[in-house]
Chain A
Amino acid sequence: MRRLLIWAPLVLFALVFALVASGLLKPGDRTVHSAMVGKSLPELALPPLLPDRPGIATGELKGKPRLLNVFASWCIPCIAEAPQLTKLKQAGVEIDAIAVRDTPEAVQAFLARHGDPYARIGDDKASRAQLALGSAGVPETFVIDAAGRIAYQHIGEIREEDVLKLLGELEKAK
């Protein structure tokens, strides 16, 4: 018994060491996945940010699959994903947007500079709609299916290699 006790600290230490080493070698996935995926879109009623197109109302986002892009003019990765959004639009996808903590002037300038793929832009001044979607940052892109349910969540900027994946998800969401 005494012998066992004497070696117990070393064994415990070895266990902790193994645990910590595994944590170091295999860093955990810290992205926050939305709990809303698979559920209906939450009730949103965002006023239009720009005068030339409508805002976001949950009832209107139905009938065909579409992308809902959460972005901001002050977000650098949003610039990086702009060409991919343009490509998706050219492929015939409707892209609606939620502008987080933004102003009409800044968004106007952003779209003039980096391309304008959006059919609707809702004004989300206090990030309420973003939180309701379960989105933890910008940019994020949701695939909304024909029945108005959230089918898929893409976290971070859309890169070249993500375009086909998103088109596939849109196809599945018909």
Chain B
Amino acid sequence: MIAEAGLAALWLAAAFALVQLLLAWGAARHRENPNVAPLMTALRRTALVQGLLALLAFGLLIALFVRSDMSVLLVAENSHSLKPMLYKVAGAWGNHEGSMLLWVTVLATAGAGVAMFERRLAGGTLAATLGAQAAIGLGFYAFLAFASNPFVRLNPPAPDGQGLNPLLQDPGLAFHPPTLYLGYVGLSVAFSFAVGALLMRDVGPAFARAMRPWVLAAWIFLTIGITAGSYWAYYELGWGGWWFWDPVENASLMPWLAATALLHSVTVLATRDGLRAWTLMLALVAFAMSMIGTFLVRSGILVSVHAFAVDPTRGTFILALLGIYIGGALALFGARVGTVTQGATFQLVSREGALVLNNLLLSVILGVVFIGTLYPLAAQAAGVQLSIGAPFFNKALVPVALVLMVATAAGPLLRWRRDNWNALAKRALVPTAAAGAAFALVFALSGGAHFVPVLGIALAVGLAVASVVPVARRNLRRTPLHVWGMVIAHLGVAVSIAGMAADSAFKTERLAAIAVGQNVTVGPFRVTLADVHPAIGPNWSALEARLQVRRGEGKMFELFPQQRFFSTPPTNTNEAAISTMLDGQLYTVLGQGDEQGRWQIRLWWKPFVTLIWLGGGLIALGGALALIGRVRRERRADEAEAWA
């Protein structure tokens, strides 16, 4: 019954999306009519009901997984009655059908959120926005119903399920995909806002203020999702790296880059009524990147370490949706943007100028990642096999990123509209001095090697100092929350880049085959293989090494890297053992044994590598503070209006 009820809820939600589209069309058409209010109310309520129905369908799918109902094909293929409860629940979205249902659920819930809480936007624009949201929803409901139905029954029921890929049985990863989806789909709201604004020719600060919280929220989730995904790949895959420029990673990075640019341009639009067309374009591009990302991941046309079930029908379906929505929106942009009047202008040396520079640099990075990701496909069309990896991306992006750091440091030091070079130079004096000192110090300490990473560290120090300047001489208690948000997010960028630079310059790696009792050194550590013994867990067994580690003459401690064997489905994984210290991480992996009783041990000493994810966390925290600050401010403004 539960499966049938879920499918019914899904179809009902689709029906409500259709009604929503029609109501939105009517409300937008008759926006000048004084009697349009009931139509708007009906529209808002329809969006709410659609959201609740989608939530119901998703809740019922989770219930099927929790009950391990093996008469449902999706459960039998992706779950197992012996799995821990957390992974039973996570199993609901750890597969294609479930994740697409999650996608549409988030989409519908976000639409309901817009319908319930958006009060500042002109009625016609809001109606058009909800109409666009419903149109996107309809496409994905069709996709679910016709090409990825999660509620298909299995007759006769399976005796038990096939299990969830053990690599995915990790608390971090249980929440990684939904977090990214919240980000992707949050950008769909920005997209719908932009489409609504284009349709109604209503682009201005009110539109920007309405869109901003959604962009911020989406961006926070993307930041968390990418940071968590990177850390997961780092400790779970046992390869010692934290970013592999894999197509699927790039698929999550590209919307983030577009959203970061959008976040800054929407601020210009909200504060100064500038960058109208550009902000609209970015809102379209950000969601386009989310959809292209979903398509690349789901269609399997690019070779990736992320092995997803590949199905050409599904790929074609998503591609068709992509063509309709993105192609349609870009055509609308072309037709309408000429009539969007130019916003306020500004001088080159100004806050706006720095933000434009930031946008251009982010766009360059986005372009490079986009080309690097799709180039193998273009080469394949020309009959050449090639893959593009870290060397290309690092070479192409590091210089741009360094310039971007300077722009990020300078932006908050500039005034809106117009400023002058001398004033900027004066305010930038302390950060520049800090960067210079850091460069001299680290360059000397590293013996004059690693010029570029050391430059990165120095710029990170400069950026860190520059990012606190805006609050330096202020009354801290009266500083608005969104300013704190900016300060902390920029600080996070500095911290993260410092971690990346330190890791690339100073990490040391050691691969050795040693017998029990022998030792090997890496960085300041001496690691002794004390023994290798079997270990056992809830649904796996393992070979576990006991490594005794000593740093210089310090106290000895032990690490236990494992080779794990899962029975359902049969898979081997490497469980790295990592020791986190204040100044970095020691990363150990147990490899194969040979006939002479030696074991392959892989060791990395990674100074300050944790800063990468700490910085990511700070960026997300800054975003959250900015979001809370903005929403509170808007609400206060609403109340003030109500009083007036």
Identify the closest chain B residue to A8 (Cβ): B334
A13/B380 in contact, CB under 8 A: no
B385 near A: Cβ within 8 Å? yes
B378/A19 in contact, CB under 8 A: yes
Cα separation A14 to B295 with both chains bound (whole Å): 16
With a cutoff of 8 Å between Cβ atoms, the chain B residues found around residue A51 in the complex are none
A35 near B: Cβ within 8 Å? no
Cα separation A16 to B285 with both chains bound (whole Å): 13
Interface residues of A in 1-26 (CB under 8 A from B): 2-3, 6-7, 9-10, 13-14, 16-17, 19-24, 26
B505 near A: Cβ within 8 Å? no
Whether A19 contacts B319 in the complex (CB less than 8 A), given A13-B330, A24-B299, comes out as: no
B326 near A: Cβ within 8 Å? yes
A23/B334 in contact, CB under 8 A: no
Contact of A6 among B285, B299, B333 (CB under 8 A): B333
Identify the closest chain A residue to B375 (Cβ): A19
A113 near B: Cβ within 8 Å? no
Identify the closest chain A residue to B595 (Cβ): A125
Interface residues of B in 313-355 (CB under 8 A from A): 315-316, 319, 322-323, 326-327, 330-331, 333-334, 337-338
With a cutoff of 8 Å between Cβ atoms, the chain B residues found around residue A13 in the complex are 288, 326-327, 330
Say whether chain B's binding surface is mostly helix, strand, loop, or mixed: helix
A23/B333 in contact, CB under 8 A: no
A10/B327 in contact, CB under 8 A: yes
Cα separation A17 to B288 with both chains bound (whole Å): 11
A172 near B: Cβ within 8 Å? no
Identify the closest chain B residue to A17 (Cβ): B323
A10/B330 in contact, CB under 8 A: yes
With a cutoff of 8 Å between Cβ atoms, the chain A residues found around residue B299 in the complex are 24
Tell me the smallest distance from the CB of B570 to a CB of chain A, in Å.
13
B333/A16 in contact, CB under 8 A: no
A24/B319 in contact, CB under 8 A: yes
With a cutoff of 8 Å between Cβ atoms, the chain B residues found around residue A27 in the complex are 301, 312
A28/B385 in contact, CB under 8 A: yes
Cα separation A27 to B301 with both chains bound (whole Å): 7
B535 near A: Cβ within 8 Å? no
Tell me the smallest distance from the CB of B85 to a CB of chain A, in Å.
35
Cα separation A40 to B301 with both chains bound (whole Å): 36
Cα separation A137 to B344 with both chains bound (whole Å): 63
B333/A19 in contact, CB under 8 A: no
A7/B334 in contact, CB under 8 A: yes
B312/A24 in contact, CB under 8 A: yes
B374 near A: Cβ within 8 Å? yes
A22/B381 in contact, CB under 8 A: yes
Contact of B334 among A6, A21, A28 (CB under 8 A): A6
Cα separation A92 to B327 with both chains bound (whole Å): 62
With a cutoff of 8 Å between Cβ atoms, the chain B residues found around residue A7 in the complex are 334
A9/B323 in contact, CB under 8 A: no
Contact of B301 among A6, A10, A23, A29 (CB under 8 A): A23
Cα separation A19 to B285 with both chains bound (whole Å): 18
Cα separation A30 to B310 with both chains bound (whole Å): 15
Cα separation A127 to B303 with both chains bound (whole Å): 24
Q: Which of A3, A16, A29 has the most CB of B within 10 A?
A: A16
- Some 19 contacts from A to B, beta carbons below 8 A apart, are A2-B338, A3-B338, A6-B333, A9-B334, A10-B330, A13-B327, A16-B292, A16-B374, A20-B295, A20-B301, A20-B374, A20-B377, A21-B319, A23-B301, A23-B377, A24-B299, A24-B301, A24-B316, A28-B385
A-side interface residues toward B, CB under 8 Å?
Answer: 2-3, 6-7, 9-10, 13-14, 16-17, 19-24, 26-30
List 15 additional contacts besides A10-B334, A19-B381, A30-B385; criterion CB under 8 Å. A2-B338, A3-B338, A7-B334, A9-B330, A9-B334, A13-B288, A16-B292, A16-B374, A17-B322, A17-B327, A20-B319, A20-B374, A24-B315, A27-B312, A28-B385
